[in-house]
Structure 1
Amino acid sequence: MAKEILAPDNIVLGKSFSGKEEAIRFTGQVLLDQGYIDEAYIDKMVERDQISTTYIGNNVAIPHGTEDAKASVEHTGLSIVITKDGVSFDGSEVNILIGIAGKGNEHLEVLSKIAIVCSDEDNIQKIIHAESKEEIIALFSEVV
C-alpha cells in the first residue's frame, strides 16, 4: 500500500533548534520515524546542505538527500517542521523546514509543487502561524 506523502504525523509545530545541522537532522528523523527512509539518508541530507544550501528563500529550507542517497528512500514523503524562533541557515532565517524523500524522480514533481505553495508570502505566514497540522495539510493538499 502506498504511504501518504504528507500525513499529520509528518508535521511538527513549534520546535526550536540550536543550529542548522540539528534542524536538518530532526527534519530527517521525522521521515525515518514514519518509515520513509533508512537512517543513512539523514547524513546525506546534512551532506547535501554542505554542498549547496537547501535554503530557498522566503524563510524556507528544503533539506533532502544527495543524488546517491536514493537507495535509502523507502517511500516518497515529506516532513514539515515549523520553528517560530527561526534557525540560521548561513545567515538566512528559516522558520519552515520541508524534508523531502523521493523514490526515483518523484522528488522533482514534489519539489515543484512545494515551490508553488512557498512562493506565496501569504502561504508562508499561514504555515509559520498554523495552530494545527490540518491547516498545513490543507495548504499543501492542493498540490501534493
Structure 2
Amino acid sequence: MHKEQLIESAKQMLDHAYVPYSKFPVGAALITDEGKVYQGCNIENAAYPVTCCAERTAIFKAVSEGERNFKALAVIANTDRPVPPCGACRQVMSEFFSPEMKVYITSKDLEVKEVTVQELLPFSFTPEDLSSGQTK
C-alpha cells in the first residue's frame, strides 16, 4: 500500500468520528508489516478526559487483535497544517512503534509531513526504562 492510499484510508474515517463537543474530526489508518490496515477515528465523551483520539483507536484495535509489527501510520484532520498528534498518542506510539517508523500527518488540503516516531517524541519513556529502574 502506498502512502497516498494509507492517507485516503485515514480520510475515510473522518465521517465516522464522534465529535459532538469539539466538532474536530480526526481519522487515522495504521498498516502492519503484513499489509493489514486498521482504521480509527476520534471518539469524544462528555467527560472529556476519557475521549480517545483516532491514532490510539487504530493502535488499540490492532494491538487488541494481536498485531505488534507496524509499518506506517497516517493521520488527517480538517486543519490548515498537517495535524500533529497529541502527547498521549505520541507516548502510545513510542510503546508500540519503532523509533524509525513513519507517521504521515496530513492537512485538509492533503499537505503531508512525513515524520518518524522519534521525531514526534524524542527521548521518550519506554518499556526498557521500567526494567532498568527496578530495584533488586
Q: Is TM (by shorter chain) over 0.5?
A: no
Higher relative contact order (CA 8 A, sep 6+): 1
Question: Larger Cα Rg: Structure 1 or Structure 2?
Answer: 2
Bigger proportion of residues as helix = 1
With the length of structure 2 as denominator, give the TM-score of the two structures.
0.36
Taking structure 1 as the reference length, the TM-score comes to 0.34
